[in-house]
C-alpha cells in the first residue's frame, strides 16, 4: 500500500511540475492550442510552402447539415507566433475571389508583425487551389488569350461553352456544386478552428473574404474575438448590379486625381477628353496588339477596340498605384506605343490558380437573383453602362447553365452585430468602393471604418500605415486605433510626371560619370608609374594626400551604396507583380513601400554627396590638387548630386521624412 501512495505522489509531482516545464521549454505553454485528430499533417512542399509552416488538411462534411455524408478536405497552413508569450487567439485569413487561394497569402503573412504575438492561420476555402476537390476550370483559363481574338458575340458564346464544359466535368466527377457556397464556407472556418484547438479567433477577410466574414459574424459569432474586413462587400448589396456604377466612379477618380495636381494638369491637360477620344478611335479602328502567356510562352495577336480598352483599364485599377500610371498610360497609347498596356494585360489576363468553378457556385447561389432593371445606371457614361449590361447578362446566362441551389433570401439581409469590427477601404478601389463599407458599418455598432487615401482594392498587409492600425486593433479591439498616419497620405501624380525622359537621362549620366572612376583611377596609377612618380608623391603635402583619400573614399562608397540601392529595388520588384508594373513608370511607388533598407541607403547617399561637396570646396579654396584633378573630382561630385536630386524629387525625400 505505501508503494501505491508513493507512486501516486510521484505521478502528481510529474503532472504539476515536470509536464508544464517541458511544455514551456517546447514553447507550447498552457495557452497553446492542441491540434485534434481532425487535422491531418502533410509536407508543406505540397502547398509550395517552406518548413516554417505547419501544414495539413482538415476534413469537413461536404454539407455540414449532413455530417455523415460525403466529405471534402481543406488545405490549412499555420505560422506559429514568434514571441516568447504568444496570445491564445490567432488571426485567420480569408481570401477573396471567391475562388482565390488563401495559402497565396503566405508571403504577406510571413512578414507581418502580427506574428510576434499571434499565430496566423491560412486556409484554402473549399473548392480552391489546394483543397480537395478543387473547382479549377482549365476549360476557362485556357481560353483567356483566345477570347481576346474573338468579336464580342463569339466571345460570349465561347465563354458559355467553356463554363458548361467545366460544370459537366465536375458533376461527372461526383462533386455536389451546390455545396460550395458562403454558408458552408463559414461553417468550414469553425471546423478549422476546432481542429486546430483554438477557442477564440480573430478573422481577417479581403474582398469576397469580407462577405465570408460577415456570414461568419451572422452564423457563428460565439468564438469571434474581432473581425477585420478589407475591401468590404455588404451582404445586403449585390455588387454585380452596382459594378457599372463602381467602374464609372473609378474613372472619375482617376481624372479628378490628375486635375487636382498642378503638375499633372500641365503635363496631361484634358485627360478625360483625351481618354474618351482614344476609346472612340479604337472603336472606329481597333489597334493590333499582342500579349504572351508567360506560363506557356504562347502569344496571342488580337485587335483592341474601345470597349476592351475600358475593360482593361478598369482591371488595371485593381493594382495599387494604378492612378499614378493612368495619365502616362493614356499618353503612351496616344503616341501609338502599346508596350506598357501589353505588359499590364499580360499580368492580368492569365491566372491558372484561380478557381472559376468556386466563383460560379458561390456567385450563382448568392448573387444571381437580380434582373437587369436592378442595375443603377444613372450618371454612368453610355459605353460603361453598355459594357456593364453585357457583363450582367453574361453572368445571368452563365448561372442559368451553372445550376446550383440558391441560398435562402436571409443571406441578403444586413448583418447586425456588436462584435468589434475594423472596416478598411481604398479610395481608388474599382470594385468595392468606400461607400460599401459605409453600408455595412450602419449595422455594426462596435465598428471602426477607415479609408486609405491612396489605396486600391484591399489595403492591409504591405502598407505600413494600415498594418499599424490592424495591429493596434487586434491587440485591443475595444479601443479605437490611432489613424494619424492616414491623414499624412494624399493622392499625387507629381512624382510620376516628373520622372520622364529628362530624369532618366540625368540618372544615366550620373551613374556613368560616377563609375568612370573604375577606369580613371587605375589609369592615373599607371600613368604615374610610367612617368616615374609614385602616386603618394603626386600631392604637394600631407593634407592634400589625406583630402584626396577622403574624397575618393566618399565617391567610391557612394558608388557601392548605389549598387546596393538598385539591388534592393530589383529584389523588391521580383517579388511583386504590382511593383513590376509600377516600376515601368515611376520609382516613387517603390519608396512608398517604405522598405527600411532603401530609406537608409538613400540617407547614406545624401550624406556622402554632402561630404563630397565639402571636399570639393576645400580642394578649390586651398588649391591642393592640380587643376585637372580638381576638375575631375568636381565632376564626380556633380554626378553624385545629380543622382541624389533625381531620386529625391521622385519620392525618396517624402518617404524618408
Q: Model confidence over 523-547: pLDDT tens digits?
A: 766 666 666 655 444 445 778 888 8
How crowded is the C-beta side of 61, counted as CA atoms within 13 Å? 12
The span from the CA of 613 to the CA of 162, in Å, is: 66
Distance in angstroms (rounded) separating the CA atoms of residues 283 and 618: 65
548 lies in the same domain as 452: no
Residue 163 has pLDDT above 70, yes or no: yes
Taking alpha carbons only, the member of 467, 35, 394 closest to residue 240 is 394
pLDDT (0 to 100) of residue 399: 96
**CA-based nearest residue to 123, from 115, 132, 135:** 132
Most confident of 9-13, 432-436, 589-593: 432-436
- The residue written with cell numbers 484561380 in the block is 354
* 343 and 462 co-located in one domain: no
290 half-sphere exposure, CB direction, 13 A CA radius: 6
Do residue 49 and residue 168 come from a single domain? yes
Give strand pairing partners of 584: none
Q: Tell me, yes or no, whether 357 lies in a domain.
A: no
Q: What is the mean pLDDT of residues 77-88?
A: 96
d(CA 546, CA 203): 62
Whether the pLDDT of residue 170 is over 90: the answer is yes
Structural Rg of the chain based on CA atoms: 30
Structural domains of the chain, count? 4
With the CA atoms of 538, 542, 547 and 549 taken in that order, what torsion angle do they form, in degrees rounded to the nearest 10? 60
**pLDDT of the residue at 537:** 45
Domain holding 81: CATH number?
A: 3.40.50.1820
In which band, very low, low, confident or very high, does the pLDDT at 349 lie, cut at 50, 70 and 90? confident
What is the reported pLDDT for 150?
Answer: 86
Say if residue 442 is in the same domain as residue 590. no
Whether residue 569 has pLDDT greater than 50:
yes
Indicate whether 418 and 340 sit together in one domain. no
* pLDDT-wise least confident of 213-217, 254-258, 340-344, 566-570: 566-570
Domain of residue 183 covers 39-238+410-487
Domain presence at residue 180: yes
State the pLDDT confidence band at 327, using cuts at 50, 70 and 90: confident
Q: Which set of grid coordinates corresponds to residue 450?
A: 477607415
With contact defined as beta carbons under 8 Å apart, do 399 and 366 qualify? no
Q: How far apart are CA 432 and CA 234, in angstroms?
A: 9
CA dist 439 and 229 (Å) reads 13
Q: Is 650 left (phi over 0), alpha (psi -120 to 50) or beta?
A: alpha
Q: Given 362, 390, 418, which residue is the final one in a domain?
A: 390
108-112, 223-227, 274-278, 389-393: least confidently modelled range: 108-112
SS (H, E, C) 299-311: EEEEEECHHHHHH
> At residue 7, does pLDDT exceed 50?
no
pLDDT band of residue 572 (cuts 50, 70, 90) is low
The DSSP bridge partners found for residue 424 are: 230, 450
- Report yes or no on 370 lying in a domain: no
Residue 78 shares a structural domain with residue 220: yes
Asked, for residue 404, whether it belongs to a domain, the answer is: no
Closest CA to 589 of 324, 343, 327: 324
Which cell is 36 given?
A: 485534434
How many other CB atoms are there within 10 angstroms of residue 343's CB atom? 15
Residue 158 is assigned to a structural domain of this protein:
yes
Q: How far apart (Å, rounded) are the C-alpha atoms in residues 53 and 501? A: 46
| CA gap 135, 237 in Å, rounded | 26
Q: Per-residue pLDDT averaged across 106-129, rounded?
A: 94
The four Cα atoms 356, 358, 359, 363 give a dihedral, to 10 degrees, of 150
> Can you tell me the mean pLDDT for 172-200?
97
pLDDT band at 574 (very low <50, low <70, confident <90, very high): low
Separation of alpha carbons 508 and 527, rounded Å: 28
Mean pLDDT over the full length of the chain: 85
Q: Which CA distances in Å does 562 have to 246, 412, 589, 600, 608?
A: 43, 56, 18, 12, 11
* pLDDT value at 42 more than 70: yes
Q: Give yes or no for residue 404 having a pLDDT over 60.
A: yes
Share of the chain above pLDDT 90, in %: 59
Handedness of CA 555, 557, 560, 562 (dihedral sign): negative
Q: Which residue has the higher pLDDT, 81 or 20?
A: 81
pLDDT digits (tens, 9 = 90+) for 612-631: 999 999 989 887 788 888 89
**Residue 78 sits in the same domain as residue 167:** yes
- Under a CB-based contact definition with an 8 Å cutoff, are residues 163 and 401 in contact? yes
329 in the same domain as 385 = yes
**pLDDT for residue 580 is more than 70:** no
Task: Specify whether the CB–CB gap between 269 and 504 falls below 8 A.
Answer: no
454 and 553 assigned to the same domain? no
What gap in Å lies between CA 226 and CA 221, rounded to an integer? 10
Asked, for residue 395, whether it belongs to a domain, the answer is: no
Asked if the structure places residue 616 within a domain, the reply is: yes
pLDDT of residue 418: 98
Is 310 found in the same domain as 217?
no
Q: How far apart are CA 614 and CA 53, in angstroms?
A: 52
20 pLDDT band, cuts 50/70/90, is very low
Instruction: Assign 495 a pLDDT band (cuts: 50, 70, 90).
Output: very low
Asked whether the predicted pLDDT for residue 581 surpasses 60, the reply is no
The larger pLDDT score, comparing residue 4 to residue 262, is at 262
Co-location of 56 and 8 in the same domain: no
Say whether pLDDT at 15 is over 80.
no
Q: 359-385: per-residue pLDDT in tens?
A: 999 999 999 999 999 999 999 999 999
* Residue 209 is assigned to a structural domain of this protein: yes
Give the Cα separation of 514 and 565 in Å (integer).
Answer: 15
DSSP of 75-127: EEEEEPP-SSS--S--EEEE--TTT--GGGGHHHHHT-GGGGTS-EEEEPPTB
On whether both 434 and 520 belong to a single domain, the answer is no
Mean pLDDT, to the nearest integer, of 2-6? 47
Amino acid at each position: 500500500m505505501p508503494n501505491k501512495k508513493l507512486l501516486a505522489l510521484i505521478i502528481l509531482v510529474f503532472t504539476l511540475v515536470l509536464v508544464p516545464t517541458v511544455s514551456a521549454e517546447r514553447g507550447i505553454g498552457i495557452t497553446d492550442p492542441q491540434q485534434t485528430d481532425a487535422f491531418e499533417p502533410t509536407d508543406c512542399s505540397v502547398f509550395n510552402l517552406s518548413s516554417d509552416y505547419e501544414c495539413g488538411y482538415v476534413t469537413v462534411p461536404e454539407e455540414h447539415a449532413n455530417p455523415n455524408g460525403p466529405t471534402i478536405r481543406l488545405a490549412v497552413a499555420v505560422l506559429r507566433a514568434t514571441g516568447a508569450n504568444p496570445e491564445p487567439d490567432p488571426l485567420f485569413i480569408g481570401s477573396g475571389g471567391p475562388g482565390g487561394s488563401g495559402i497565396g497569402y503566405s508571403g504577406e503573412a510571413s512578414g507581418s508583425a502580427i506574428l510576434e504575438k499571434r499565430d496566423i492561420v491560412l486556409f484554402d476555402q473549399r473548392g480552391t487551389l489546394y483543397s480537395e476537390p478543387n473547382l479549377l476550370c482549365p476549360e476557362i483559363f485556357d481560353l483567356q488569350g483566345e477570347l481576346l481574338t474573338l468579336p464580342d458575340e463569339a466571345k460570349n458564346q465561347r465563354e458559355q461553352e467553356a463554363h458548361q464544359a467545366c460544370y459537366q466535368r465536375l458533376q461527372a466527377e461526383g462533386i455536389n456544386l451546390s455545396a460550395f457556397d458562403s454558408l458552408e464556407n463559414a461553417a468550414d472556418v469553425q471546423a478549422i478552428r476546432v481542429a486546430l484547438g483554438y477557442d477564440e479567433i480573430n478573422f481577417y477577410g479581403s474582398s469576397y473574404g469580407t462577405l465570408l466574414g460577415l456570414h461568419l459574424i451572422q452564423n457563428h459569432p460565439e468564438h469571434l474575438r474581432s473581425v477585420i474586413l478589407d475591401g468590404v462587400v455588404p451582404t445586403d448589396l449585390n455588387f454585380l448590379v452596382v459594378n457599372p456604377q463602381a467602374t464609372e466612379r473609378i474613372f472619375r477618380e482617376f481624372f479628378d486625381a490628375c486635375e487636382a495636381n498642378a503638375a499633372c494638369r500641365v503635363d496631361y491637360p484634358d485627360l478625360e477628353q483625351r481618354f474618351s477620344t482614344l476609346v472612340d478611335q479604337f472603336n472606329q479602328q481597333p489597334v493590333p496588339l499582342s500579349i504572351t502567356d508567360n506560363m506557356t510562352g504562347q502569344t496571342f495577336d488580337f485587335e483592341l477596340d474601345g470597349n476592351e480598352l475600358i475593360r482593361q483599364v478598369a482591371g488595371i485599377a485593381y493594382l495599387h498605384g494604378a492612378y499614378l500610371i493612368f495619365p502616362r498610360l493614356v499618353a503612351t497609347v496616344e503616341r501609338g506605343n502599346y508596350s506598357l498596356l501589353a505588359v499590364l494585360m499580360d499580368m492580368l489576363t492569365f491566372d491558372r490558380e484561380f478557381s472559376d468553378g468556386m466563383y460560379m457556385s458561390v456567385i450563382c447561389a448568392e448573387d444571381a437573383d437580380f434582373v437587369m432593371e436592378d442595375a443603377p445606371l444613372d450618371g454612368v457614361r453610355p459605353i460603361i453602362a453598355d459594357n456593364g449590361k453585357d457583363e450582367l447578362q453574361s453572368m445571368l446566362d452563365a448561372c442559368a447553365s451553372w445550376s446550383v441551389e440558391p441560398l435562402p433570401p436571409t443571406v441578403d439581409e444586413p448583418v447586425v452585430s456588436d462584435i468589434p469590427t475594423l472596416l478598411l477601404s481604398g479610395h481608388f478601389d474599382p470594385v468595392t468602393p468606400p461607400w460599401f463599407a459605409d453600408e455595412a458599418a450602419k449595422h455594426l455598432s462596435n465598428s471602426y471604418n477607415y479609408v486609405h487615401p491612396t489605396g486600391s482594392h484591399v489595403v492591409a498587409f504591405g502598407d505600413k500605415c494600415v498594418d499599424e492600425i490592424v495591429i493596434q486593433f487586434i491587440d485591443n479591439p475595444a479601443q479605437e486605433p490611432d489613424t494619424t498616419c492616414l491623414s499624412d497620405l494624399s493622392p499625387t501624380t507629381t512624382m510620376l510626371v516628373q520622372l520622364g525622359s529628362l530624369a532618366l537621362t540625368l540618372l544615366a549620366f550620373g551613374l556613368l560619370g560616377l563609375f568612370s572612376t573604375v577606369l580613371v583611377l587605375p589609369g592615373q596609377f599607371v600613368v604615374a608609374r610610367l612617368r616615374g612618380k609614385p602616386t603618394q608623391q603626386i600631392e604637394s603635402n600631407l593634407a592634400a594626400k589625406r583630402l584626396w583619400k577622403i574624397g575618393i573614399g566618399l565617391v567610391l562608397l557612394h558608388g557601392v551604396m548605389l549598387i546596393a540601392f538598385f539591388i534592393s529595388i530589383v529584389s523588391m520588384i521580383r517579388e511583386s507583380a504590382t511593383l513590376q508594373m509600377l516600376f515601368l513608370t515611376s520609382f516613387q511607388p517603390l519608396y512608398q513601400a517604405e522598405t527600411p533598407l532603401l530609406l537608409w541607403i538613400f540617407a547614406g547617399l545624401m550624406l556622402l554627396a554632402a561630404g563630397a561637396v565639402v571636399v570639393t570646396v576645400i580642394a578649390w579654396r586651398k588649391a591642393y590638387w592640380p587643376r585637372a584633378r580638381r576638375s575631375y573630382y568636381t565632376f564626380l561630385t556633380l554626378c553624385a548630386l545629380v543622382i541624389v536630386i533625381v531620386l529625391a524629387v521622385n519620392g525618396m525625400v517624402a518617404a524618408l521624412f
